[in-house]
Amino acid sequence: LKNAPHTAEALMVSEWAHPYTREEAAYPAPWLREHKFWPVAGRIDNAFGDRNLVCSCEGMEAYI
């Protein structure tokens, strides 16, 4: 999962050093062409950030 997901900014750099095409990076699955979500950031702090997400939302009590 290194470098995944690719942001739009990462796909637009002039030098592409990855062993796969930009198209494969942007749309790794065919169904993504219609329903692509462009992340604003890649992975957050690698595996640690993926496991320890920080949410700035109010607690569930605020929605009850």
**Domains: count for the chain:** 1
Distance separating alpha carbons of residues 36 and 42, to the nearest angstrom? 15
Quick one: pLDDT at residue 15?
Answer: 92
Quote the CA–CA distance of 2 and 43 in Å, as a whole number: 8
Residues of the chain short of pLDDT 50, as ranges, are: none
pLDDT at 28: 83
pLDDT given for residue 59 in this prediction = 79
Q: Quote the pLDDT of residue 7.
A: 81
pLDDT at 19: 92
Is residue 20 situated within a structural domain? yes
Residue type, 45: D
What pLDDT was estimated at residue 21?
92
DSSP 11: H
The model's pTM? 0.53
- What's the rounded Cα separation, in Å, for the pair 9 and 25? 12
The tokens describing 23, both together, are 């198209």
User: Is 55 inside any structural domain?
Assistant: yes
Range of the domain at 36: 8-63
For residue 46, what are the CA distances in angstroms to 4, 9, 35, 59, 64?
Answer: 10, 19, 25, 26, 34
Q: Is residue 37 part of a domain?
A: yes
